């Protein structure tokens, strides 16, 4: 068996005396790290860099402006050399060795009794990497591991309760339109730390398969006309689980504050003394049209947009093709919504696009006009989840039929129409 003469461990230096010999930037970095660990730091150096003098002036460490003496190591629990002079560093290391005090020799890592790893902190996890005495390699590995923890690619969830833990918490996480890659880094990280996940029907469902086996998933998904757990019950679940000391993630599709009742859930948690965090998500109102190449605004076509549900009155929405209307959960009321917009004055030839299952493998795009879209949707058996976009911006979609592209709305070649593209679904 190959022998590696390194035994990784972690020193608890809170309140313990530590000696740093040297006054340059390396000594300052090491002193700062030791102070962060709670050590009582003394620096010995004839001269000190501004970072060290600043720490000394603030009373965070003791600086003795003189040459090193052998007695300086007396009583120290740990010693760090960083003088830049190999002979002085070797002498300090030898004096520490004679007293069986662990010492990091910055001038000679092979002769050093201890190595300082590359360190990163994520939440309450401290990552320390040694790489055979190659500090740049160690830093690269440290950064890669830290990034994987930050993004939720590595498990960051606690397995033991913290001694100071009291009540749990709730995070309302917007999961985006459904593709697992569109959840935010913060949302992915919180999901990896969760003890309980309260999940909607929409959102990045495949991420649930990556949870540890002991993470409980409570399904509260709703479908049109079928709400097995009412909103009041969902609110109660969040609070009850948090009060048991659990980290709860409410995983929602899109953004929790865009027609997602996130505000109600956050308010209920706060009323019951539960810490709640809101993590915005990529709302389907904007992202799903983008999946079909439809911008909700576009120079020369639309400067603004309105987002409503298919169950809301549309009489207050601007009835102009240059103001984009986005309907969420609107398939069931599509015929009624189209009629309402037409009655308000929106022309029958206004382009309309429907994007089903945006960003998922079974995504489908149907494009027509305000006058034809209801019949098209019925003939194609269009179903939720779907986002309906009404307005001239639909002309930009690569799925739009060629005759939609006769208007001049090019932004790269003024006064010239865009090249017609073959539609995926003919009107």
- Give catalytic residues, as residue numbers: 200, 222
361 by Cβ neighbours in 10 Å (0-12 / 13-18 / 19+) ranks as exposed
Measuring CA to CA, which residue among 189, 115, 210, 180 is closest to residue 146?
A: 189
Burial 374-396 (b: 16+ CB within 10 A, else e): bebbeeeebebbbbbbbbbbbbb
């Amino acid at each position: 068996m190959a022998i590696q003469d390194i035994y990784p461990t972690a020193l608890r230096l809170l309140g313990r005396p530590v000696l740093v010999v040297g006054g340059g930037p390396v000594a300052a970095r090491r002193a700062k790290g030791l102070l962060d660990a709670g050590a009582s730091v003394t620096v010995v150096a004839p001269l000190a860099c501004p970072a060290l003098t600043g720490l000394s002036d603030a009373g965070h460490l003791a600086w003795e402006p003189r040459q090193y003496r052998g007695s300086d190591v007396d009583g120290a629990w740990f010693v760090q050399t960083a003088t830049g002079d190999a002979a002085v560093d070797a002498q300090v290391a030898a004096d520490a060795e004679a007293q069986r005090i662990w010492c990091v020799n910055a001038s000679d890592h092979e002769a050093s009794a201890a190595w300082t790893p590359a360190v990163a902190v994520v939440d309450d996890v401290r990552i320390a990497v040694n790489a055979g005495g190659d500090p740049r390699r160690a830093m690269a590995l440290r950064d890669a591991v830290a990034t994987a923890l930050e993004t939720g690619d590595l498990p960051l969830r606690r397995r033991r309760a913290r001694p100071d833990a009291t009540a749990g918490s709730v995070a309302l996480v917007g999961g985006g339109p459904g593709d697992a890659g569109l959840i935010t880094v913060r949302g992915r990280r919180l999901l990896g730390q969760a003890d309980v996940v309260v999940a909607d029907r929409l959102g990045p469902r495949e991420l649930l398969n990556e949870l540890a086996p002991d993470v409980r998933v409570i399904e509260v998904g709703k479908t049109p006309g079928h709400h097995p757990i009412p909103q009041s019950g969902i609110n109660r679940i969040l609070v009850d689980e948090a009060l048991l000391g659990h980290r709860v993630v409410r995983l929602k599709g899109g953004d929790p504050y865009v027609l997602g009742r996130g505000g109600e859930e956050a308010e209920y948690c706060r009323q019951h003394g539960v810490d709640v965090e809101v993590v915005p998500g990529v709302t389907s109102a904007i992202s799903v049209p983008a999946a079909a190449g439809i911008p909700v605004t576009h120079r020369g076509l639309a400067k603004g947009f309105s987002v409503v549900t298919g169950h809301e009155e549309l009489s207050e929405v601007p009835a102009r093709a240059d103001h984009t209307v986005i309907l969420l959960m609107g398939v069931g009321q599509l015929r009624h919504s189209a009629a309402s917009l037409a009655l308000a004055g929106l022309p029958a030839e206004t382009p309309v696009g429907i994007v089903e299952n945006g960003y998922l493998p079974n995504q489908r795009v149907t494009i027509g006009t305000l006058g034809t879209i209801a019949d098209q949707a019925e003939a194609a058996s269009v179903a939720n989840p779907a986002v309906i976009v009404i307005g001239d911006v639909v002309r930009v979609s690569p799925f739009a039929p060629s005759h939609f592209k006769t208007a001049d709305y090019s932004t790269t070649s003024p006064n010239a129409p865009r090249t017609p593209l073959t539609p995926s679904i003919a009107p």
